[in-house]
Amino acid sequence: YAHALERLVTPASVVLDIGTGQGLLALLACRAGAARVYAVESDDVISVAREAATASGFGDRIVCIQAKSTAIELPERVDGVVADTHGVLPLFRDSLVSIADARDRLLKPGGWIVPAREVMWAALVSSPPAYKSVIDVWNTEYGLDFSAAQRRAANTWRQKRLTAAEVFVKPQRWATLDYTQACGTRINGELMWTIERAGNGHGFAVWFDAELAPGIVLSNSPEAREEH
């Protein structure tokens, strides 16, 4: 995100940071040279962002707003929007709605968005360790039957770090989210694989690649060199 902001921000840039949290991206936008940043956060942690802005010497350039971005009005349209509102996937809570709303109401025509687009991938995985970590915890020493809990656990999605070797088939693109264009919030995709080797499939892994700026990509793929 820091590299993307350094590439996109100019000394005249006005930036909107959606879900600023402790204010990191707002601070990075100022460090990259932004003239003004509207840092928006609905949680009380906005107080930390306000203190961090002052302590970092950007108190006169960062405007902290405690609210949902969909509920605010700004005195001007912004040159760029930055949002790290992900959970494990881009479909976290109201992330899609917030970015689309900011693009349509608050961003200047031709303005930039970080990330600009994200691609979600999916693949069948074979991972005995991951499966055991979900299932074996319900095999108690007390002679009690927790098979109902096992079934629920086995069919509930969770965050898990996997290796490339555990991906059992060639990953396929599930959906592309292009934040620069109008798009709905209901994401659908159909995937099909040909199984070419024997093995146990323990579940489906889904991950994303985010294009933050041209040539700058963040990924939480099993093949990614850094963990996100």
Write out pLDDT tens, residues 132-153. 988 888 888 888 899 999 999 9
pLDDT in tens, 111-127: 999 999 999 999 999 99
Report, as an integer, the average pLDDT of 5-27.
97
Mean pLDDT over each residue of the chain, to the nearest integer: 93
pLDDT in tens, 88-107: 888 888 889 999 999 999 99
* 2 phi/psi in degrees, rounded to 5: -60, -45
Residue 105, CA distances (Å) to 16, 64, 68, 70, 77 in order: 12, 19, 14, 9, 8
**CA 167/CA 22 separation, integer angstroms:** 35
For the chain, give the percent of residues with pLDDT over 90: 77
pLDDT in tens, 196-209: 889 899 999 999 99
Beta bridge partners of 38: 16, 63
SS3 92: coil
Beta-carbon contacts of residue 35 (< 8 Å; ≥ 6 apart): 11, 12, 13, 14, 61
CA dihedral (184, 185, 190, 191) positive or negative: positive
pLDDT in tens, 19-62: 999 999 999 999 999 999 999 999 999 999 999 999 999 999 99
Q: Are 216 and 4 in contact (CB under 8 A)?
A: yes
